[in-house]
């Protein structure tokens, strides 16, 4: 289908873009979600502002113990960044599982986070990493924890006029182990369910467990009950199964033509056990 007529501006600075967005224009990044929605007439913006070409939003840097990613970084850049692979491998591993090579070359981390598809991959990793999301408007800047950003299906803490400008993740300490395990819908690659695990062990005991889940519920969430079940244990096979069985606790599971709620809950427990096992094997 053909989208409705719209105006298109490609500003050369972020300030220009934010000025237009403050007046009601809609940001366009990789277009991997927005353009299909416009073709299906699920979205009909009158004015698109192309922020996908702004160099100001395209960087990955190490900054005193944290890593800062500009919102315009493509999934491919996140996947292949030597800095991320070395210091925050969970994010690169997650990016590598998104869609196909065309989508990874065009789609951006900021676009994915802002779009907040309940089956998107990054939200699980960002929750497990306890990431911070920087939001900018023409005259404002604020930072929101990932745990407070994803509010509902396609709904986030973004206010009108704001964009996601930066994602901040911690530099993993050498002893931490992480893994992202996903059951993909075979046609699109989107997650039927995905679980990101981040674990730290000390003296044979798991002292920190962070589990982010996507695909299962209306929005990505931290599986607090499963995390609690894991912390303080040595992480035996029985400990892992016990924690994995709690991954969907307190959550209303999604159901659609691809998977029933019961099947999704089952996949979530399987993915959680795999993610925890793989992350544990990577702890020092
Ligand atoms: C065939 C296919 C397969 C896919 N498979 C997967 C998959 O397996 N896993 C997965 O996670 N995703 C998947 N995706 C989605 C993909 O990751 C998109 O790249 C992502 O959802 C949106 O990023 P984008 O840069 O393309 O944003 P766009 O499509 O340009 O924009 C999406 C929305 O976010 C807004 N927006 C964009 N950037 C910002 C910003 N910085 N701040 C505020 N608002 C912004 C736009 O206005 C729009 O509303 C797939 C997409 C396709 C087409």
Q: Please tell me whether residues 30 and 99 are part of one structural domain.
A: no
Give me 197's structure tokens: 């695990």
pLDDT at 239: 98
pLDDT at 1: 79
Q: Please tell me whether residues 38 and 77 are part of one structural domain.
A: no
Q: Which residue has the tokens 């029933």?
A: 260
Q: Please tell me whether residues 193 and 253 are part of one structural domain.
A: yes
Judged by DSSP in three states, 256 sits in strand
Shortest-distance atom of ligand 1 to CA 190: 8
Contact partners, residue 69, CB within 8 Å, separation at least 6:
59, 60, 78, 84, 91, 109, 166, 167, 168, 169
* Cα 263 to ligand 1 centre (Å): 26
User: 243-283 pLDDT, tens per residue?
Assistant: 999 999 999 999 999 999 999 999 999 999 999 999 999 99
Residue closest via CA to ligand 1's atom 39 equals 111
* Cα 141 to ligand 1 centre (Å): 22
* Length of the chain counted residue by residue: 284
Question: pLDDT over 90 for what percent of the chain?
Answer: 96
Strands 60-63 and 150-152, by their bridges, are unpaired
* Cα 115 to ligand 1 centre (Å): 6
Q: Please tell me whether residues 198 and 141 are part of one structural domain.
A: no
Model confidence at 129, pLDDT cuts 50, 70, 90, reads very high
Residue among 111, 133, 161, 188 to mutate when testing ligand 1 (max atoms within 8 A of CB): 111
Do the domain assignments include residue 2?
Answer: no
32 lines ligand 1 (CB under 6 A): yes
* Cα 33 to ligand 1 centre (Å): 4
Do the domain assignments include residue 1?
Answer: no
Give me 85's structure tokens: 């692979």
The pTM assigned to this predicted structure is 0.97
Do the domain assignments include residue 181?
Answer: yes
Q: Please tell me whether residues 195 and 236 are part of one structural domain.
A: yes
**Domain boundary pick from 135, 170, 205:** 170
Count: domains in the chain = 3
Residue span of the structural domain in which 208 resides: 177-282
């Amino acid at each position: 289908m053909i989208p409705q007529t719209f105006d298109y501006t490609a500003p050369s600075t972020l300030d220009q873009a934010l000025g237009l967005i403050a007046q009601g224009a809609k940001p366009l990044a990789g277009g991997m979600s927005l353009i299909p929605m416009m073709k299906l007439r699920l979205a009909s913006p009158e004015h698109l502002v192309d922020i996908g070409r702004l160099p100001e939003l395209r960087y990955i840097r190490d900054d005193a113990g944290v890593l800062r990613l500009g919102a315009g970084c493509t999934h491919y850049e996140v996947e292949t960044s030597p800095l991320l692979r070395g210091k925050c491998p969970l994010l690169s591993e997650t990016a590598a599982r998104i869609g196909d090579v065309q989508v990874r070359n065009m789609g951006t981390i900021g676009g994915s986070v802002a779009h907040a598809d309940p089956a998107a991959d990054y939200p699980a990793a960002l929750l497990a990493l306890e990431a911070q999301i920087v939001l900018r408007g023409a005259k404002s800047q604020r930072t929101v924890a990932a745990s407070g950003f994803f509010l509902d299906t396609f709904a986030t803490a973004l206010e009108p006029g704001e964009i996601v400008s930066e994602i901040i993740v911690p530099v993993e300490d050498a002893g931490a182990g992480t893994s992202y395990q996903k059951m993909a819908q075979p046609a699109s690659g989107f997650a039927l369910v995905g679980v990101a695990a981040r674990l730290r062990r000390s003296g044979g005991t798991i002292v920190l467990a962070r589990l982010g889940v996507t695909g299962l519920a209306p929005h990505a969430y931290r599986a607090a009950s499963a995390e609690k079940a894991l912390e303080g244990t040595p992480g035996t096979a029985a400990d892992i199964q016990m924690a994995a069985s709690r991954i969907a606790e307190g959550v209303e599971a999604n159901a659609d033509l691809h998977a029933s709620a019961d099947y999704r809950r089952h996949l979530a427990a399987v993915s959680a056990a795999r993610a925890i096992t793989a992350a544990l094997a990577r702890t020092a």
